[in-house]
Amino acid sequence: MIDIVVVEDDERLGALIAHYLERHGYRVVLEADGAQAEATVLAHTPAAVLLDVTLPGRDGFDICRTLRPRYAGVICMLTARNDDIDQVLGLELGADDYIGKPIEPRVLLARLRAHLRRQSPARQEQSALSVGRLRIDRGSREVHLHDARVPLTSAEFDLLLVLAEGAGRIFSREDLFQSLRGISFDGADRSIDARVSRLRRKLGDDQEPAQRIKAVRGRGYLFNRGAWD
């Protein structure tokens, strides 16, 4: 199986990323045309996609939006645009990560490995976590609420599992960044907040104030064990 599809129209950068990943044991397919990117990903079913935002043919946001319902692997968006709005948009569309250019290869590799480790079935416990009417299956990576399946992205599933396993504990953004991405929180990245917001909507917790995944002012987020009946 092809491990990684890199969608990047900068030929030199794409080749550098591919060479670095191949040196570390990954097989890489390069795609430079945004119009062909979705078909390339679906044809190879890779473990992860590195998706540039600015592409000829179709931009990365549009590709992510239409690809996500048909592809369950990791999507990491690559961009030189550091606007918070762009980051939130990418995550709202289902991306698992948002990596700025210029890219430090070691950081890219570390973040990619972290996502792939969390997705690997061999590393998942084959038991389910149940809280009230919520069931989180670690093996199949599926979530059911009131016996109805809740479609989550890989990143949303990981966040929910961390919060649920620590039910009753307040997780700061720093805690969540370290658990989910293996890096320190820089104080400005709002991706955790965007992901929590998406989780709340999907889990019927979008009233104000939220009751299932509660915000604790000035401290972080808390999974409320008693709110899932």
The token pair that represents 190 in the structure block: 């709002």
pLDDT of residue 116: 85
d(Cα 198, Cα 26) in Å, to the nearest integer?
Answer: 31
pLDDT of residue 143: 94
- 124-227, what's its fold? Arc Repressor Mutant, subunit A (1.10.10)
Stretch (H or E) spanning 131: strand 128-131
**Under DSSP, is residue 10 helix (H, G, I), strand (E, B) or coil?**
coil
For 4-120, CATH number? 3.40.50.2300
* Portions of the chain given CATH number 3.40.50.2300: 4-120
d(Cα 152, Cα 154) in Å, to the nearest integer?
Answer: 6
* Portions of the chain given CATH number 1.10.10.10: 124-227
pLDDT of residue 52: 93
d(Cα 196, Cα 162) in Å, to the nearest integer?
Answer: 12
Residues of the chain scoring pLDDT < 50: 1, 122-126
Polymer length in residues for the chain: 229
pTM here?
0.58
pLDDT of residue 90: 78
